[in-house]
Amino acid sequence: MSVNTNDKKVDAKRRLLLAGCAAGGLGVMAIAVAQPKDRVIKVTAKRFDFSPSVIPLKRGVPVILELTSLDIPMGFNAPDFGVRADMVPGKVAKLRFIPDKTGEFTFYCDIFCGSGHESMSGSLVVT
Amino acid sequence: MNNGINNDPGNGVDRRGFLRLAGLGGVIFASGLSGWAAAADSMGVAGAEDFFFVQLSDTHWGFEGDVNPDAKGTLQKAVATVNGLEQVPDFIVFTGDLTHTTDDPRERRQRLAQFRDIVAALKVKTVYYMPGEHDAALDNGKAYQEFFGKTHYTFDHKGVHFIVLDNVTDPAARIGDEQLAWLAADLKQQPADARIVVFTHRPLFDLYPQWDWATRDGAKAVELLMPYSNVTVFYGHIHQENHHMTGHIAHHSAKSLIFPLPAPGSQPKRTPLAWDAAHPYQGLGVRTVKPEPRPRNTEYTLNELAVGAAKS
């Protein structure tokens, strides 16, 4: 009887352990599902505009900007997030970052592209 | 004449106080009006010779727009203003954006030629030039160099070492490793207490990158200059006066001769300030820096000479 009792105790422990593992596994899966997915936003530049010029983002949600230019080499610079990339015609540059603060932040062309260059900017609106 | 005080809240130093600091670093060399020699003596600057120069900037020849209905006449008025100065400056330096951007290479050359012909009327024959991004970024300085030669160089004047740096012919606003190596080699020839004045078009520090008011590798130039105790930087680009310190190095911007721009970050876009018919040429002009020696204290007075004040 005692042996059986012990066996039952061992079985119970194993069941708890397995249940724990299963729960843990489910937990890990749940976290994986809940992790924010990278948003992909295409941004094109042409003298002297960005499209879109206003980019809505979520704080803490990673974003990948796919950047290209339709005419001449441009730059995409968002100094508040310490990121920049060249925008070259015929190529797509991917810029991934996670907005870590809310508010409205300027991005701008940082490669001189003509007399409208000074007004070539847009906003990252992070909520 | 505009004697308004322009404070830079970013560094907490008002202009008068700032110039008192900067005066020890070299802005005194931009003066030379009566009294400078005595001021130099009181500051213990041995062997300093009295001289002054004029900085002109951002003339944007070829620009047309409502923000300056006299766009075709402002440069000539500036020339007349300088020619009318009581004391003839030793030299004049143009800190870039001599012309306004055009995509047409032939038109670019026409504008550079017209600019050259207009400033030929300056009575001061020693004139130094440097490009701004509007002159040189679209063709990497090719047309500019045909008219005005090298885009970076040095010269010496009465014991002061002047360095002209090019941070515009690369459209990405880089000085570049090659020019930085050239700067380092030049500085190695200078003693640590050399009196050094640097001219650039863009600011070497991050004034307001959101408006492209920065030089991508400007910090590397500042780092090279940092071991030298007497360095002052004069620049243009931002079309207004601004004073800033990076450590002991003073940076002063010049007003424009075409239109003023808003204070950094003061509005969403850097659109030019509107022309005020009641105050024509407001915000445009040249300045003089005058030392005022006192028994135990030396202060400086900045006088803004509006271009409209010139006799035409």
Model confidence over B134-156: pLDDT tens digits? 999 999 999 999 999 999 999 99
Residues B74, B36: Cα–Cα separation, whole Å: 30
| Long-range contacts, stretch A98-104, CB < 8 angstroms, 24+ apart | A98/A60, A98/A61, A98/A62, A98/A63, A99/A57, A99/A58, A99/A59, A99/A60, A99/A61, A99/A63, A99/A124, A99/A126, A100/A59, A100/A60, A101/A59, A101/A126, A102/A59, A102/A126, A102/A127
pLDDT at B290 over 80: no
Residues B114, B225: Cα–Cα separation, whole Å: 36
pLDDT band at B269 (very low <50, low <70, confident <90, very high): confident
For position A22, what pLDDT does the model report? 40
Query: In 3D, which of B234, B300, B306 has the Cα closest to residue B15?
Result: B300
Which single residue is written with the structure tokens 């499209």?
A: A51
Number of Cβ within 10 Å of residue B112's Cβ equals 23
Residues A93, A96: Cα–Cα separation, whole Å: 10
Query: Complex ipTM, two decimals?
Result: 0.79
Structural contact between residues B236 and B256, judged by C-beta atoms closer than 8 angstroms: yes
Partner A, chain B 30-59, Cβ-Cβ below 8 Å: none
For position B49, what pLDDT does the model report? 61
Residues B306, B59: Cα–Cα separation, whole Å: 14
Take residue B161 and report the two structure tokens written for it: 């070492």
pLDDT at B284 over 90: no
Query: In 3D, which of B21, B64, B34 has the Cα closest to residue B248?
Result: B21
pLDDT at B41 over 70: no
Kindly report the nearest CA distance between residue A90 and chain B, in angstroms.
19
Residues B1, B287: Cα–Cα separation, whole Å: 9
Partner A, chain B 102-131, Cβ-Cβ below 8 Å: 102-103
Provide CATH code, domain A39-126: 2.60.40.420
Q: B134 contacts in A (CB within 8 Å)?
A: 115
DSSP state of A113: -
Which residue from A79, A112, A117 is facing B210, i.e. has the nearest CB? A79
For position B295, what pLDDT does the model report? 41
Tell me the whole-structure pTM to 2 decimals: 0.80
Calculate the average pLDDT of chain A.
Answer: 82
Phi and psi at B206, nearest 5°, equal -80, 90
Are the Cβ atoms of A112 and B137 closer than 8 angstroms? Answer: yes
pLDDT at B35 over 60: no
Tell me the mean pLDDT in the region A32-60. Answer: 88
pLDDT at A23 over 90: no
Which single residue is written with the structure tokens 């729960």?
A: A23
Residue type at B168 in one-letter notation: V
Q: In which element (H, E) is residue A93 found? A: strand A93-97
Higher pLDDT, B254 or B15: B254
